[in-house]
Chain A
Amino acid sequence: MQTTILIVSLILMAVVGVAYARAVYATDGPPAGPGANKARSALLWGMIVFGVILSVGTLREGVYDVAGPAPMVVNVSGGQWWWEVDTYEIPLGQEVEFRVTTEDVSHGMGIYTPGMTLVAQVQAMPGYTNKLVHTFDAPGTYQILCMEFCGIAHHDMVNEFNVLEAAE
């Protein structure tokens, strides 16, 4: 997923960058013709229409992941500079609802795969319990990394848990 995001972003940046660079380099060429204003309107309306479609398409189902009827609840609490998890073994394919709290400052719970790819995250904020719903689709040892700067040992605030294939 991250790779797709990177490639799409780089392509869009390159398209805008190259179009812009070509136009501004051509200071000695012919000036923009009368069609240019039309092109600007087309771009403007094109972006607006695309934005409406994109927004409706991506937000139609709401902004939060909501757990189904029988999630496994995992309580996570954070503090300077540790994570505590009440279950270190999570079955593969089981929907999990993490309930994340903090005992001091804001932290961020980022869940990393065994290959160190970020798959989900949520903030931990004093006075609140933040829910994160996720279903693991590969077994292995996952890491929890802190994603919100919380002081001088922020980068040491890690823990791990296992996702296990269900014993038949």
Chain B
Amino acid sequence: MTDATYEIESIASENPHAGWIKLTMGLGGVVFLLMMIFGLIMRAGQGGIIDLDPVIFYQLLTAHGAGMVGSAALSGAAILWYFVARHVTLSIKIYIIFLGLFLAGVVFILGSIFIGGYGGAWTFLFPLPAISGGAWEAGAAVAFCVGYLLIGVGFLLYYLEMAYNISKSFGGLFGGLGWKFIVNGDSKTAPPPTIIAASSVIVFNSIGIVFGAIVLGASIINLLIPSFAVNALLAKNAIYFFGHVFINATIYMAVTAVYELIPEYTGKPWKTTRLFAIAWAAVVVFVQIVYFHHLLQDVNMPAWALATGQIISYASGVPLIAVTVFSTALYIKGSGMKWDLATKLLVLGVGGWGIGVIPAMIDGMVSVNKLMHNTQWVPGHFHTYLLLGEVAMAFGFAAWLGRDKSSQDQSGLDRFAFQAYLAGGFGFVLMFFWSGASSIPRRWAVHYDEWQLQSQIATVFAAVVILATTLFVLRYVEIHFDERNTPMVHLETDEIVGIEVLSSGEKQLFIILGEALLQEERPVVFISDEPELSLHVSWQAALFEHIRSLNGSCQIISATHSPDIVGSFQDRVIKIEQCIRDVH
């Protein structure tokens, strides 16, 4: 089929794990949407637009926090798995176990909140789960912790499988991290960007999850045996270490979509440079010691820890802004990259991430933190790098998965959805910053009258974000789950069309050649009557050769009126006229 105008594309047959990844992204998208609606309800409650019972508010807050962090982690994990599988062999069984444990965890968490009434926030700060003031029983809090543990175990299995296979192919984890390459500078030993990202996340997030599991275990024991007490400051350190690392890992996993997909649009590889590898090495270190900035108001912490919190908060922004954001801009400028929903969202994701870290760096300063800690400034910065960062990357990846079908008729809607997401998202986070600067505390179910304007405007922006997200999700669900695997035709003009627009001759070719392709070289006999019907003469001449080039083990028997169709096989023709004459 070398000179053929058409290329038969069975949708995304590229990646062996594509089916599971698509399912995961679909689930993640729906949960993101649902959790956004929870967020909208909370913001509307804070704005006094609706009358929201505080008990429900704190349950929604707990569900929204855990659900969003969970969906970000799930979508990040799906993206990372998909792209790591391009470089090393991974066992899909492990992925399925991971997904199963994850969903089991979700069942426990949702049950604990909406059946058990647990409303102790996603951070389960010791000893709040055990001392609810009558709002929930210990059992509900235990169920919540067990849900987290199931998800954590799934992630550890996931990372173990990845670590093992990366180590095998890239000379140990240090090879995969690119640390060997940093030392020897030999570009032949440079692992691809995705492998560096994967190895880094494996290292820090596994450590984070282990600490999380320890403090979860301790919390469970405390819930069951209240006399078993834990040091509250120690528990807080462990929780924030785990929480900070885990939420950051979601973005570091998702960014591999940028490394892998943007080059498909520009034709330029995303190269591993030494600077790139060093920036990732810095991330591995910084992400583990930066969590001290969550404890700047805990004056019993040693001074060095608080100073570290401030210094590393700043330092964490340096590789992100000066390397990731700057290099992405350099790479895309003048690349001729085509903009579609996928590229727009991926590029937004890097920008939102880079912009969102700035108010975090500022809040990491001890003097600022005294005024901004636990105000809505904090949801301001993390919504910026999650909503406009991780989530944008996730929907960008999802849009890319469905790219075949979207190019023509949906582009207007895509454009609208993107603009709404962008405008709604920025407006929404801006209101949090304004709220933070107005000293409005975070996690308050009821806001005083003079605080409500910000929440009211934010509610409108949130509704716009939700509208845009609904469009992303509908588009995705429609593409992947409504239709069977319909084949698509990729025209020379880069357009992608359904087969129904083909002429009858083209359809016939599609069927014949498609059939030959699907035989996968099995020995078959191909019998046809007048296969030349509605075919152009040039195609008639080449048809049999093409069939045989797709399946060399086939025998073709055909009745025809066209002398052209046999092409170069003239010596194999049996002329019926001759046969009849011979009989007589």
Interface set of A (CB-CB < 8 Å, partner B): 1-3, 5-6, 8-10, 12-13, 16-17, 19-21, 23-24, 26-32, 36, 39-40, 43-44, 47-48, 51, 54-55, 58-59, 62-64, 80-81, 104-106, 108, 110, 112, 116-123, 125-128, 130-132, 145-156
Looking at B121-129, B505-513, B545-553, the stretch in contact with chain A turns out to be: B121-129
Give B380's nearest chain A residue, CB to CB.
A9
Give chain B interface residues in 415-443, CB to chain A under 8 Å: 433-434, 436-439, 441, 443
Task: Return the chain B residue nearest A62 by Cβ.
Answer: B303
Residues of A within 8 Å of B125, CB to CB, are: 105-106, 148-149
> Chain B residues near A154 (CB, 8 Å)?
58, 443-445
B131-A31 in contact (CB<8A): no
A106 and B310 in contact, given A27-B336, A29-B334, A154-B444 (Cβ under 8 angstroms)? no
Interface residue from B303, B330, B439 paired with A36 (Cβ < 8 Å) = B330
Contacts of A51 in B (CB 8 A): 311, 314-315, 318
Contact pattern, B 360-398, Cβ under 8 Å of A = 1, otherwise 0: 001001111011111100000000000000000000000
Asked whether A151 and B351 contact (CB < 8 A) given A5-B362, A16-B325, A128-B233, the answer is no
**B358 to A151, Cβ gap below 8 A?**
no
Task: Tell me the bound Cα distance from A43 to B317 in angstroms.
Answer: 12
Q: Report the bound CA distance from A35 to B40 in whole Å.
A: 46
Residue of B nearest to A122 (CB): B297
Cβ–Cβ contact B232 & A106, under 8 A: yes
Q: What's the nearest-Cβ distance from chain A to residue B29, in Å?
A: 25
Please state if B120 and A9 are interface contacts (CB–CB under 8 Å): no
B236 at the interface (CB under 8 A from A): yes
CB of B128 within 8 A of CB of A125, answer: no
CB neighbours (8 Å) of B306 from chain A are: 63-64
Provide the bound-state CA to CA distance between A143 and B392, in Å: 40
Q: How far is the CA of A9 from the CA of B443 in the complex (A)?
A: 22
Give Cα A85 to B84, complex, Å. Answer: 57
Q: List 6 A-B contacts (CB under 8 A).
A: A5-B437, A27-B332, A31-B335, A58-B366, A110-B441, A119-B371
Query: Complex: how many Å from CA A104 to CA B327?
Result: 49
- A47 and B297 form a contact (CB under 8 A): no
User: Closest CB-CB distance, A8 to chain B, in whole Å?
Assistant: 7
Complex alpha-carbon distance, A132 and B296, angstroms: 12
Within 8 A of A (CB), among B324-366: 325-330, 332-337, 339, 347, 350-351, 354-355, 358-359, 362, 365-366
A23 pairs with B330, CB closer than 8 A: yes
The distance from the CB of A74 to the nearest CB of chain B, in whole angstroms, is 15
Partner of B445, one of A6, A55, A58, A155: A155
Q: Is the CB of A23 within 8 A of B332?
A: yes
> Which of B321, B373, B375, B434 is A47 in contact with, Cβ under 8 Å?
B321
Nearest CB on A from B344, distance (A): 10
Complex alpha-carbon distance, A32 and B296, angstroms = 41
Q: Are A31 and B334 in contact (CB under 8 A)?
A: yes
Q: Is the CB of B318 within 8 A of A17?
A: no
Taking CB atoms, residues of chain B closer than 8 Å to A117 are 439
Chain A minimum-CB-distance residue to B121: A149
Interface assignment of B23: CB less than 8 Å from any CB of chain A: no
Across-interface contacts of B362 in A (CB, < 8 A): 5, 8-9, 12
Over the window 116-155 of chain B, the binary record of Cβ atoms lying under 8 Å from chain A Cβ atoms (1 yes, 0 no) is 0001110101011001110100000000000000000000
- Chain B nearest CB from A81 CB (Å) reads 7
Docked-complex contact B297 and A64, CB < 8 angstroms: no
Residues of B within 8 A of A112 (CB): 439
Say yes or no: is B307 at the interface (Cβ < 8 Å to chain A): yes
Complex alpha-carbon distance, A48 and B359, angstroms: 18
With A23-B333, A55-B314, A126-B127 as given contacts, are A5 and B133 in contact (CB-CB < 8 Å)? Answer: no
A117 vs B339: C-alpha distance when bound (angstroms): 45
Instruction: Pick from B121, B329, B354, B433: contact of A6, CB below 8 A.
Output: B433
**Minimum distance in angstroms from A112 CB to a CB of chain B:** 7
Q: With A and B bound together, what is the CA distance between A155 and B119 in angstroms? A: 14
B297 and A13 contacting across the interface, CB-CB below 8 Å: no
Measured CB to CB, the nearest residue on chain B to A40 is B326
B residues less than 8 Å from A148 (CB atoms): 125, 374
B448 within 8 Å of A by Cβ?
yes
In the complex, the answer to whether A47 meets B439 with C-beta atoms within 8 Å is no
Task: Kindly state whether residue B514 has any CB partner on chain A within 8 Å.
Answer: no
Q: Is the CB of B374 within 8 A of A108?
A: yes
Is B311's CB under 8 angstroms from A55's CB? Answer: yes
Q: Let me know if A63 and B366 touch, CB within 8 A.
A: yes
**Interchain nearest-CB distance for B425 vs A (Å):** 12
CB pair A20 B318 closer than 8 Å = no
Partner of A29, one of B120, B333, B350, B438: B333
Contact of B439 among A21, A26, A118, A156 (CB under 8 A): A118
Is residue B300 contacting chain A, with contact meaning CB distance below 8 A?
A: yes
| Contact between B131 and A104, CB atoms less than 8 A apart | yes
The 10 A-B pairs at the shortest CB distance, nearest first, are namely: A31-B334, A23-B329, A6-B437, A118-B439, A44-B322, A155-B444, A63-B306, A80-B133, A147-B374, A2-B437
Q: Which residue of B lies closest to A24 (CB)?
A: B332
- Say whether B333 contacts A149, CB under 8 Å: no
CB distance from B579 to the nearest CB of A (A): 65
Whether the pair B433, A54 counts as a contact (CB closer than 8 A) is no
| Chain B hits for A110, CB < 8 A | 374, 441
Q: With A5-B362, A154-B444 in contact, is A125–B314 under 8 Å at CB? A: no
